[in-house]
Chains A and B, each alone.
Chain A
Amino acid sequence: MPELNNPEDPFTRRVTGPGTTVVATVSADASATRPRSISGLRRSDLLALGGSVAASLSLVTLLFTQLAPLSGPVGFVVLSYVTFLGIYALLISFDESGPVVRDRIVAAVVHSLAFLLLAALLVIVAFTAYRGIKALVHINFFTQDLTNAGPLDPLSVGGISHAIVGTLIEITIALAIVIPLGITCAVFLNEIPGTFARFVRTIAEAMTALPSIVAGLFIYATLILILGLPKSGLAAALAISVMMLPIIIRAADVVLRLVPGSLKEASLALGTGQWRTVWHVTLPTARSGLMTAVILGAARGIGETSPVLITAGYTASMNTNPFSGPMVSLPLAAFNLVGNPQVTSIQRAFGAAMTLLLVVLVLFVIARIIGGRGAGNLTKRQAAQRAKESERDATRFSQRDANTTGSTRT
């Protein structure tokens, strides 16, 4: 094969003699041998894209304003999109083959679907912020409760401080129950494998989609109907716990499964017991992942309305005692406020919803800053710290070695 010894081609491996490796020479004319690009954009692609957008928009505008009895922004967008796909396919088919046309159309559809979902997220957040901002600009919205503010009172009176405090109390109680129980259970699933652990894992996974209202019903049936306790913050916290427990178990289980077995084996080989290995090796290695699991679980728990709706009761005034009297959380306050048709009440509802969304957002950002790293992946600072520690150990060892060899010689 003559190409094999083509000296101009940097990509051919030439064999000049047994055991000789020749480094490929880069030829002057590199453009002729560039690898095929499978994702790059060419100018004709951009032109086809821009052209079909312009063509479809003009065509549909013409249809809507002059030719056909059509109206409405939704119809305009949908019709423009369909027309765009058609014109785009036509333009590409002028100079490409069938499979390439299909490839481009699918790429356009996939891009627009992803864009649509992200746009929906943006619209949801922006709409809540836009409607909630009227309530949020009043400082009293965060410092007062609704005891003295009826539905007709202006926004400069009353606020949702009781709901913020209630949310914090409820989620604190719930986390105090769920974190120890959930993480111990996840450790159990990983450390003591067997039929029983597999069974527990199956049940916990099936329970992750437990409808949140059923979790509320369960607490309502046990605590309130059978034990006769009143509706309270404690009941709401327990309902949230039942809902969050499987979510956190599952997330923590996945994180713990990613801890490298070699680390655990190294610890066991050094003579450490199982408990010490878990405490000093497994859990610290998975720390960031576990934090993420807990924070994301808390974000879900804070945002759920339905378990709280059944178990917490509703009050317009501040209640800091979770054991007696109804206690309101942010989603429940928003839900109750939106039930009143008055404008200020609905503005307060959006204000509460936006506050809730901000809390979730903050939790989420914290989770992403802590987490987002696999087990054992360190931040720069942690890595530097580890390097310093091992350097100290190394000098200590070498000093000890020097001392012992010195002492044996003398």
Chain B
Amino acid sequence: MSTTAVKPQPDADVKPREVQERVGLPDRIFRGIARASGITVLTIMSLVGLFLAFRASEALRAQGFKFLTDQAWEPDSRNFGISAILIGTFLIALVAITVAVPLAIGTALYISEYAPRRSKQLLISLVDLMAAVPSIVYGLWGLFLLQGRVTGISRWLTTHFGWVPFLHVDGFDSSDPLAGPAGTLTSSTFIAGIVVGLMVTPIATSVMREVFSQAPAGEREGALALGATKWGMIRSVVLPFGKGGIIGGTMLGLGRALGETITVYLIISPIFSVQPHILETGASSIAATIAGKYGAASAFGTSALFAAGLALFLVTLVVNFIAASIVANSRSGAVSDA
């Protein structure tokens, strides 16, 4: 017969000591100040959204659903919408990401896997420095140096791949030697995208490098011990481990590319209709529109610009949240947070 242990009745005399956390006055003041700073930051951040929405409401009410579908930007004749500039923003960001992702993955892999141990810290600093280079410097470089060099590539692309819809250039005739790049191929989505791509590469690189370098050493050594080449090890250990970092870094870069203002403004020649031909002169972006139009805008026009700013704000917020959650939920993110 089995015995059942009866839980002993708690003795009335033996009680756990009550632990009283006595928080002194300085600590209470400290906690109060700390909480207040948190609340302040939260307030500022939500005010940004609220004020944008408040100022935009006039334009949004006047235009209604047409705000999302119209292409023109003539607020004073009540004819405006963000479809063209929103699509333009995304096209520039997509070109930027296409440029940035291979560069970022290559550089991140080089720093975390190939670079000599001693030069690693220097390389990381250089990439960080590249992220801190002011946007006006990138803009001047793109406008005065890159543009002249890139039109050659644009010309070649549209000559040989003009049948691809988005690489087509209206009014470009490759057999006509006088139809130079001057009129049709400068100030395009493509050129702006390349410069913005270089700007966001360091941000994406540092996220990816961080994640790659956290790939578990045991698994790396296991792969090498099984006879894998370095690339075999990278493909079977580092890249699967860093998948979240690659996607997250890309999204983070995308978020930055969407909001880039001055570089894009300096390079593109703005148009307000959907421009799907990325090599052709004329492009548009929300941020560049705001920078270009705010000076001469009427009260209602300013409200329309605020509406555009609100749209940009919401889009980048969504992209960013997705990026943050992908990085946080990936295996690598879980390791780094622990």
CB pair A110 B132 closer than 8 Å: no
- Residues in A313-341 with C-beta less than 8 Å from chain B: 331, 334-335, 338
CB pair B259 A99 closer than 8 Å: no
Q: Which residue of B lies closest to A310 (CB)?
A: B294
**Interface readout for A236-273 with B: 1 if CB under 8 Å, 0 if not?**
00000010011001000000000000000000000001
CB pair B27 A188 closer than 8 Å: no
Cβ of B138 within 8 Å of any chain A Cβ, yes or no, is yes
Cβ of A75 within 8 Å of any chain B Cβ, yes or no, is yes
Q: Which residues does chain B contribute within 8 Å of A346, judged by CB atoms?
A: 144
Given known contacts A72-B152, A246-B45, A331-B134, A99 and B232 CB-to-CB distance under 8 angstroms: yes
Name the residue among A202, A211, A245, A246 with the largest chain B CB count within 10 angstroms.
Answer: A211
Cα–Cα, bound, A53→B257 (Å): 36
Of A117, A209, A212, A296, the contact of B201 (CB 8 Å cutoff): A117
Cβ of A383 within 8 Å of any chain B Cβ, yes or no, is no
- Shortest CB-to-CB span from B304 to chain A, Å, is 12
Cα–Cα, bound, A315→B70 (Å): 37
Cβ of A221 within 8 Å of any chain B Cβ, yes or no, is yes
Q: Which residues does chain B contribute within 8 Å of A116, judged by CB atoms?
A: 103, 106
- Residues in B18-63 with C-beta less than 8 Å from chain A: 23-24, 26-27, 29-31, 33-35, 37-38, 40-42, 44-48, 51-52, 54-55
CB pair A75 B132 closer than 8 Å: no
Cβ of B252 within 8 Å of any chain A Cβ, yes or no, is yes
Of A203, A213, A302, the contact of B261 (CB 8 Å cutoff): A213
Cβ of B156 within 8 Å of any chain A Cβ, yes or no, is yes
Of B110, B128, B266, the contact of A110 (CB 8 Å cutoff): B110
Cα–Cα, bound, A23→B81 (Å): 80
Cβ of A197 within 8 Å of any chain B Cβ, yes or no, is yes
Cα–Cα, bound, A246→B317 (Å): 13
Cα–Cα, bound, A123→B140 (Å): 12
Q: Which residues does chain A contribute within 8 Å of B294, judged by CB atoms?
A: 220, 310
CB pair A357 B140 closer than 8 Å: no
- Residues in B149-198 with C-beta less than 8 Å from chain A: 149-150, 152-153, 156, 198
Given known contacts A107-B230, A218-B48, A304-B135, A181 and B38 CB-to-CB distance under 8 angstroms: no
CB pair B34 A191 closer than 8 Å: yes
Cα–Cα, bound, A249→B34 (Å): 13
What band does the interface of chain A fall in when counting residues whose beta carbon is under 8 Å from B? Answer: 35 or more
Q: How many A-B residue pairs have CB under 8 A?
A: 270
Given known contacts A214-B52, A305-B262, A124 and B47 CB-to-CB distance under 8 angstroms: no
Q: Which residue of A lies closest to B289 (CB)?
A: A213
CB pair A204 B259 closer than 8 Å: no
Q: Which residues does chain B contribute within 8 Å of A334, judged by CB atoms?
A: 136, 140
Cβ of B242 within 8 Å of any chain A Cβ, yes or no, is no
Cβ of B333 within 8 Å of any chain A Cβ, yes or no, is no
**Interface readout for A203-243 with B: 1 if CB under 8 Å, 0 if not?**
11111111111110110111001000000000000000010
- Shortest CB-to-CB span from B192 to chain A, Å, is 15
7 closest A-B pairs by CB: A113-B106, A211-B259, A303-B134, A114-B110, A103-B229, A188-B34, A275-B30
Residues in B lying within 8 Å of A, measured CB to CB: 23-24, 26-27, 29-31, 33-35, 37-38, 40-42, 44-48, 51-52, 54-55, 102-103, 105-107, 109-111, 113-115, 121, 123, 125-130, 132-141, 143-145, 149-150, 152-153, 156, 198, 201-202, 205, 224, 228-232, 234, 252, 255-256, 258-262, 266, 287, 290-291, 294, 302, 305-306, 309, 312-313, 316-317, 319-321, 324
Residues in A lying within 8 Å of B, measured CB to CB: 38-39, 72-75, 99-100, 102-103, 106-107, 109-114, 116-118, 120-121, 123-125, 127-128, 131, 181-182, 184-185, 187-189, 191-192, 196-197, 199-200, 202-215, 217-218, 220-222, 225, 242, 245-246, 249, 273-276, 278, 296, 299-300, 302-306, 309-310, 331, 334-335, 338, 346, 349-350, 353, 356-357, 360-361, 364, 368, 372
User: Could you pull out 24 A-B pairs where Cβ atoms are within 8 angstroms?
Assistant: A99-B231, A103-B229, A107-B114, A117-B107, A121-B130, A181-B41, A188-B35, A192-B38, A206-B320, A209-B252, A211-B260, A211-B316, A214-B309, A217-B52, A221-B306, A222-B47, A245-B41, A273-B27, A302-B134, A305-B134, A305-B262, A310-B290, A338-B140, A357-B137
Starting from the known contacts A199-B42, A372-B121, 16 additional A-B residue pairs (CB-CB under 8 Å) come to A74-B153, A110-B106, A114-B115, A123-B141, A124-B141, A185-B41, A200-B38, A203-B42, A210-B259, A305-B134, A305-B135, A309-B261, A331-B136, A346-B144, A357-B137, A361-B129
